[in-house]
Amino acid sequence: MSRKSIKYKFDNGRGQKLAATLDVPEGAPDFYGVFAPCFTCLKESHGAAKICRHMAELNIGMLRFDMTGLGESEGDFAETNFTTRVADIIAACEAVARDFAPPALLVGHSISGTAALAAAASVPSLQAIATVGAPADPAHIIDKFRRLNAITQKGNGMIDIMVTGQRVSFKESFIDDMLAQDVETATQAIDRRLFIFHAPHDNIVHADNAELILERAVKADAELIPLSEAGTHLFETRKEDAIFVAETLADWFRTHLR
């Protein structure tokens, strides 16, 4: 099925415009969903673009967007944290609901998968949530950065963090915000379909995180779905894994869409 990509902007609820791409089929989509890219990833990242474009070919409308301060979006990324990431995701869902139709699906990649778990309760239209290579807790990220000595004090209340070889600046309060989150309780409260996609040999977020998310999701109709043995965290080498995620989600909605 043919598709098209449309540029779109929405307000993040804090007075800043976020840039987005809406991947849609040529005709009316069966439903709409939102895709939140990974930590410093843009809407054109491998995971976001490959999954959303294929979902549009399966007659699903998908919004992917740049978080505050990244890519074409307004704001200062150094001022953001996990709380603002959750707020950006909720704002994206509200924009889709306002301008198109209430979203039935929320997909979060990496730390945005963790944020999607936290945001789910604020988006009542969701029928399914999907995490892709997600940490079970934001604290996992901070612990890993500390183990790798990837956090450097800059002074003036700022820190630098090395993220996949790229130096990114944040306020020191970024760490406090990450450590203060209670995603465990949010995960336990989810009572909808929950897809937990994870590459078995993910070398950025260990697959143990997927098992912990599944263990916590006591109210959800939850399933852990491994990607291929060759799958990577960023989907940079295997389009097949992105297609698999898209088709798995589309297949479920074909029989469960209300």
- Whether 141 shows a pLDDT value over 90: the answer reads no
- Whether 68 shows a pLDDT value over 90: the answer reads yes
- 77 close to 94: Cβ distance less than 8 angstroms: no
Mean pLDDT (the chain) is 96
The pLDDT tens digits of the residues spanning 33-47 come to: 999 999 999 999 999
> Taking the complete model, does pTM exceed 0.95, yes or no?
yes
- Whether 17 shows a pLDDT value over 80: the answer reads yes
pLDDT at position 155:
80
- In the chain, the N- to C-terminal Cα span, in Å, equals 23
The pLDDT tens digits of the residues spanning 179-199 come to: 999 999 999 999 999 999 999
Residue 228, helix vs strand vs coil = coil
Residue identified by tokens 């004090």 is 153
Residue 172: φ, ψ to 5°: -55, -30
Cα separation of 147 and 255, whole Å? 45
- Count Cβ atoms below 10 Å from residue 157 Cβ, excluding itself: 10
Residue type, 214: L
pLDDT at position 165:
77
Tell whether domain 3-136+182-256 is in CATH 3.40.50.1820: yes
Closest CA to 127 of 247, 256, 11: 256
Question: 198 burial class (0-12, 13-18, 19+ CB within 10 angstroms)?
Answer: buried
Mean pLDDT of 4-33: 97
The pLDDT tens digits of the residues spanning 117-134 come to: 999 999 999 999 999 999
pLDDT at position 144:
87
The pLDDT tens digits of the residues spanning 84-106 come to: 999 999 999 999 999 999 999 99
Which string of b and e fits 7-40 if b means at least 16 CB within 10 Å? ebebebeeebebbbbbbbbeeebebbbbbbbbbb
- Whether 11 shows a pLDDT value over 80: the answer reads yes
Q: In the chain, what percentage of residues exceed pLDDT 70?
A: 100
Closest CA to 5 of 69, 46, 49: 49
To the nearest 5 percent, what fractions of the chain are helix, strand and coil?
40, 25, 35
List the chain domain ranges.
3-136+182-256
The pLDDT tens digits of the residues spanning 148-182 come to: 899 999 888 999 999 877 889 999 999 999 999 99
- Whether 238 shows a pLDDT value over 90: the answer reads no
Closest CA to 175 of 139, 150, 148: 139
| CA-based torsion, 230, 203, 130, 53: positive or negative | negative
